[in-house]
Structure 1
Amino acid sequence: MSASPAPGPSLGQRLQRLFLTGLLTLLPLWLTWVVVKFLFVLLGDLGKPLVEPALHGIAQRNPQTFGWLVEPWVLNAIALVATLLVILLAGWLARRVIGQTLLRWFEAMVARIPLASTIYGSARKLLDILQTKPDGTQRVVLVDFPHTEMKSIGFVTRVIREAGTGRELAAVYVPTTPNPTSGYLEIVPVEKITPTDWTVDQAMSFIISGGAVAPDTIPFSPPQRDAGNSTG
């Protein structure tokens, strides 16, 4: 008498497999949509004050022909295009003498406003730091979080010293996934950070993609330091 065949997966198991397969298929698309939507909404909101009054004026003068200009999706699309054009224009001007002169004039004007000068100056310094190579300390590092067996990607913004002991401390900005513009700041002893050979672009791709886009290797443990090199 032949043995009966093993029973196949149940309906619930098949549905579970299909669900997981579909989830893993759609997750990268969803992540891309979240990041792109965030950028488009942000850029569109920036451009609305530039185009909304003009579009409303055109629509009011000839509502039958141009009434569609004040539809929300049309308004958002035109605002997005306007913002992109302004960004491209700013980039073009920044490479010209007249643009650099205007930027210095704007920075001088902002410097007279107490709160605005602090925010603008801090943001300007952070962007300048991330675009240049650091002296003596690798820019992209790993820091312990939430414990020593787990790490987070961070950017060293500067190295300071502890009062009294003179020990080197690194100010590390740790961005969050998938929006690297939000994050937190940690002050970490230099000997506790793990330097990497990643560029800022590679680190940003790693963060935004949730770890899916990354080089094949990365150091995990801090480098060993000689006892004679430690600060007393």
Structure 2
Amino acid sequence: MTESQGKEIVEADAALGGEQIGQRTGMFGSNGSGDTSGYGGLVAPKVFPGAATRPYGGWFDTVADALGDLVERVVIHRGEVTFHVPRGSLYAAMEKLRNDPALRFEFSAGVSGVHYPDDAGRELHAVYSLLSMSYNRRIRVETTCPDGDPHLPSTVALYPTHDWHEREAWDFFGLIFDGHPALARIQMPDDWPGHPQRKDYPLGGIPVEYKGGTVPPPDQRRSYN
């Protein structure tokens, strides 16, 4: 994607109420270690879809009405709905979604961490994918917190499988889930420094030996920039 094509995308999304929070270069947007993918010339805008306006359509309005003031904004993108809630309202919103007889989002597919270094004041996002098996409906719930205060309420009491999902989000992104029964690393060693799926994490590594050959860490490989 060229810079002019990226500008066209930004202008088109802005016309739809989108919000640009920065620009990604290369395949993965990593910094400080050289691009080894061969796609170092790619330039793409980081654009959030804009908020939807009522009526949202069908059962989307039913869920929005039930959540009421717990929701900051509703985003509908590519036929999928995301309810953005402030972190202070996260637990109440998730409890409502699970327990309300008209909603019954009984199943959570997990907690996904996302890091947007350019999204000032809300650099860390947590995304919850919920399914109502009773009504065959799928939604996302998204909340944010700043790098300097990465605390969110734990929802393990509502969805017990979040015990593992919150530990993984802490391990890879540094999100701290207050009230978690045993927040600890789940993939990386206990003494591992930092959180390796953050965008500002150095793209380093350890040598890998395979059938007598050695693959160096990414930061020691040839750069294609």
Q: TM-score range by the shorter chain?
A: under 0.3
Q: If each structure's strand is expressed as a fraction of its own residues, which one has the higher value?
A: 2
Q: Please tell me whether Structure 1 or Structure 2 has the larger radius of gyration of its CA atoms.
A: 1
Q: If each structure's helix is expressed as a fraction of its own residues, which one has the higher value?
A: 1
TM-score norm. by structure 1 comes to 0.25
- Greater RCO, CA 8 A, separation 6+: 2
TM-score norm. by structure 2 comes to 0.25
